[in-house]
Structure 1
Amino acid sequence: MLTTIEAKGAVGRMLSEIEVTYFRSRIEDVLREGRATDWQRRFLTAMQQKIGRYGTRTQLTEKQLDTLRRLTKAEPSPNLRLLVDNQRPQFERRRYRQPHRRQSRFSNREIKFAMIAVLMLAGFVSYLFQGDAIPFLGSDPVSVSSSQFAGQGFSVTDGDTIRMSDGTPVRLVGFNTPEKFEPQCDREAALGIRATERLRELVSSGKTAVSQVACSCKPGTEGTDRCNHGRSCGILRVDGQDVGQTLIAEALAVPFVCGRTSCPPTPRPWCS
């Protein structure tokens, strides 16, 4: 199919970095699930090889792109094209300065650490006044059960999500990283990609261990889309160190503390 379309001289467009990252992950998931037909598997395998070879230089026709979106259940949302469509160059935004504005006495690094400190303080206060809160630093969340994930490998989906070898998606608790699939701004998209790559570096640097923990959901909703979008919850450690604490210390994540049955609004300070 690909050879036929390309031979006809169909004009396509190149994929953005976010689209390349997304389709690589989703094609792998769909092929692993084993539900695709023979034709769909041949098409997805050809797309996987082409994207793997050319990366952001991959050029697809609109028909190929529509088919790829349909098979990977990707919505044709502008969020997947933030890096290529209707965006002013970042250097133009940086050149703008409001007139007569006094220069801040604090560096960006100091501001980031101040934001993290405020969020950590808010989480601690919530823990003191909410009896069912789960601490995110210093001790493990309740209901730890490592038997389900024992001996399994996993792959990194993004900065705070992994997928076990049996296909179980696991949301890592205690922190939140920038979104790379549905970012609210260019800066969040770039930081989301950096957080994902940094998590892969941490995982490859030492001995890993994944422990399952109870998700902060209402009773009776466990295992459904109403509970953490159907994902399990867990803690990932590398050489005994929670990866969330490392990403927070490197300003690639912020603390995110939940109660036993609910969570506060997800912190996403990267576009403010």
Structure 2
Amino acid sequence: MLSDIEITYFRSRIDDVLQSGRPTDWQRSFLVDMRGKIERYGTRTRLSEKQLATLKRLTAVKGDADLRLITNTEYVQPQQPQRLTWQKPRRRRPLRYREIKFTVFAVMMIVCGVGYAVTEGLRIFGLGNFETASAASSQFQNSDFSVTDGDTIRMRDGTPVRLVGYNTPEKFEPRCSREAALGNQASERLRQLVAAGKSTVTRIACSCKPGTEGTSKCNYGRSCGYLRVDGRDVGQTLISEGLAVPFICGATGCPPTPRPWCG
């Protein structure tokens, strides 16, 4: 199982690699799968030795290749022997290399944790754009919309909006009966979430090639955005309930759409 420090570290580094790095299709698929496991199981996440080694290698911080995760270890301050009042005080020994290394690692984990918390806070409250860093997000002029399926809505003015960050089973063109059933469940669950709280739709730039925004070559002509109910991204809820999987795009393109429901 992973510790709280490892959970915070891997969450932050996976997001950094997916958004700013240049992973291969296989590496992207692996990181997205690991991100989904960590989000779903937290400190109960179980990884094989090979999976953990691969995850560490793909999320390693450049310039600090010798720094490795230290788990289930704590430095215990040795108890100083009680000295008599007439004894000369001993000089404090210098810090050892292992102690310095652990201190540097702990500071880095704290910085990563704070950065991740700030990033999540900005994303939750709609103050940041995490699909394309150069595009500014904005609220739709009218928040009235209808649910098309588990990851698509239609604004009152007719604008279709693809919700980013996750993918749900298809209910219109399913590959098997199981996907069709799950697709209908995801759509109904999204309607329940919307009906249970205050909804906010935030527009962001789609992950498309420059100049194709708004055309059929970019996300089938749909706009892109986040849908939050009472401040929580609906994608997080659907993923946690097994009705969706993570789907993270880059700045100008997306990996193959994950559809694991038909085996």
- Classify the TM-score, shorter chain: 0.5 to 0.7
Which residues in structure 2 correspond to 1:203-242 (within 5 Å)? 203-242=194-233
CA offsets, 1:49-68, max 9 Å, x none?
A: xxxxxxxxxxxxxxxxxxxx
Structure 2: any 5+ residue segments left out of the alignment?
1-11, 36-118
Match status 1:127 vs 2:119: no
Whether the 8 Å contact between 1:146 and 1:211 is mirrored in structure 2 is yes
Instruction: Note the C-alpha offset of 1:233.
Output: 0.1
Alignment counterpart, residue 249 of structure 1, candidates 234, 240, 250: 240
Corresponding residue for residue 146 of structure 1: 138
For residues 254 and 248 of structure 1, what CA distance do their matches in structure 2 show? 5
Q: Secondary structure at the match of 1:189?
A: helix
Corresponding residue for residue 156 of structure 2: 165
Corresponding residue for residue 96 of structure 1: none
**Cα distance, 1:220–1:128 mapped onto 2, change above 3 Å:** closer
Corresponding residue for residue 268 of structure 1: 259
CA offsets, 1:224-257, max 9 Å, x none?
A: 0000000000000000000000000001000000
For residues 243 and 175 of structure 1, what CA distance do their matches in structure 2 show? 9
For residues 226 and 180 of structure 2, what CA distance do their matches in structure 1 show? 24
Q: Secondary structure at the match of 2:137?
A: coil
Corresponding residue for residue 181 of structure 1: 172
Quick one: which amino acid aligns to residue 129 of structure 1? G
Whether the 8 Å contact between 1:123 and 1:257 is mirrored in structure 2 is no
**Cα distance, 1:245–1:165 mapped onto 2, change above 3 Å:** same
For residues 184 and 121 of structure 1, what CA distance do their matches in structure 2 show? 34
Structure 1: any 5+ residue segments left out of the alignment?
1-119
Give the RMSD, CA atoms, in angstroms. 2.9
For residues 247 and 125 of structure 1, what CA distance do their matches in structure 2 show? 24
Kindly name which structure, 1 or 2, has the bigger radius of gyration based on alpha carbons.
Answer: 2
Instruction: Note the C-alpha offset of 1:122.
Output: 7.0
For residues 165 and 234 of structure 1, what CA distance do their matches in structure 2 show? 15
TM-score normalised by the chain length of structure 2: 0.53
**Cα distance, 1:123–1:199 mapped onto 2, change above 3 Å:** same
For residues 253 and 170 of structure 1, what CA distance do their matches in structure 2 show? 17
Whether the 8 Å contact between 2:143 and 2:200 is mirrored in structure 1 is no
TM-score normalised by the chain length of structure 1: 0.51
Match status 1:197 vs 2:89: no
CA offsets, 1:24-71, max 9 Å, x none?
A: xxxxxxxxxxxxxxxxxxxxxxxxxxxxxxxxxxxxxxxxxxxxxxxx
For residues 157 and 122 of structure 1, what CA distance do their matches in structure 2 show? 31
Q: Secondary structure at the match of 2:18?
A: helix
Which residues in structure 2 correspond to 1:26-65 (within 5 Å)? none
Quick one: which amino acid aligns to residue 233 of structure 1? C
Corresponding residue for residue 258 of structure 1: 249
**Cα distance, 1:220–1:152 mapped onto 2, change above 3 Å:** same
**Cα distance, 1:124–1:187 mapped onto 2, change above 3 Å:** farther
Corresponding residue for residue 98 of structure 1: none
CA offsets, 1:184-243, max 9 Å, x none?
A: 111000000000000000000000000000100001111100000000000000000000
**Cα distance, 1:126–1:146 mapped onto 2, change above 3 Å:** closer
- How many residues of Structure 1 are paired with residues of Structure 2 in the alignment? 152
